[in-house]
Amino acid sequence: MAALQEKKSCSQRMAEFRHYCWNPDTGQMLGRTPARWVWISLYYAGFYVVMTGLFALCIYVLMQTIDPYTPDYQDQLKSPGVTLRPDVYGERGLKISYNVSENSSWAGLTHTLHSFLAGYTPASQQDSINCTSEKYFFQESFAAPNHTKFSCKFTADMLQNCSGLADPSFGFEEGKPCFIIKMNRIVKFLPSNNTAPRVDCTFQDDPQKHRKDTEPLQVEYYPPMAPSVSTISPTMARKDSPTTATLWWQPSSSTTQKTCKSASCARSWQTT
């Protein structure tokens, strides 16, 4: 009993550990011969290869049941969600206020529009095609790269006065700002040409001016065929294609000068 309870010295423990790591008498390494280590390594390698293959097969079968262009589950929305650019969401909601004489009050708005149009340059649209259909343009085949469909070409220069090319301020400096109506994608939604989109633009500076008998400001659409919504509706051609339709509008100069004659007055626009 005394021998069993005798504590081993540090050197004895190190010697036993070295003997366990490599036993010269039996040729074992960590309790197994090299041949056994080879066999057990091959077993676990084969086991994990089979498990990885089964997992990859399950993922492949699952992906074959998913349509990359149409979600399996859809809600019952009848009309697309519409938002406004420049994006000023917050406490003000969709209300945009700025002072014509203060560049700092609208510089951020124009920067947002320039950033949005960066994806509509001719270089970024070079892989798109011209959709010549007068009503709807459908593609049956996946002829685009990576087994996708082509997107309809829409470049910034089509927006004319609201393209930001001739006027980098997008009309904010003149009191005739450009805005964009952004429509979210809805699967199998086909817009109609029977009714043009309605945009009411009114001043919100003076509550006394906001009366029921006040006529809304006149609106100009860019491009000119913008009221034909089917020509700018969202496309499901590509998985990475833009998910929005673009409809630019700008208050006309005649009504703006009539309603607000002072060039330095603060203007506030709101869509309804």
pLDDT tens-digit readout, 40-92: 999 999 999 999 999 999 999 998 888 777 777 777 665 567 777 887 666 66
CA angle 192/185/271 to nearest 5° reads: 75
Q: Is the pLDDT of residue 243 over 60?
A: no
Q: Which two tokens stand for residue 98?
A: 């700025």
Asked if residues 238 and 148 have their Cβ atoms less than 8 Å apart, the reply is yes
Report the C-alpha gap between 151 and 127 in whole angstroms. 8
Lowest mean pLDDT among 38-42, 73-77, 96-100, 252-256: 252-256
Q: Is residue 37 exposed (0-12), middle (13-18) or buried (19+ Cβ within 10 Å)?
A: middle
Please list the residues that pair with 222 across neighbouring strands: 248
pLDDT greater at residue 117 or residue 31: 117
Q: Count CA within 13 A, CB hemisphere, residue 102.
A: 9
Mean pLDDT, the chain, whole residue set: 72
pLDDT at 251: 52
Lowest mean pLDDT among 36-40, 54-58, 90-94, 267-271: 267-271
pLDDT at 261: 26
For the chain, which residues make up each domain, given as ranges? Answer: 14-64, 82-271
pTM across the whole model? 0.58
Give the mean model confidence (pLDDT) for residues 157-181: 86
pLDDT at 5: 62
Terminal Cα-to-Cα distance of the chain (whole angstroms): 95
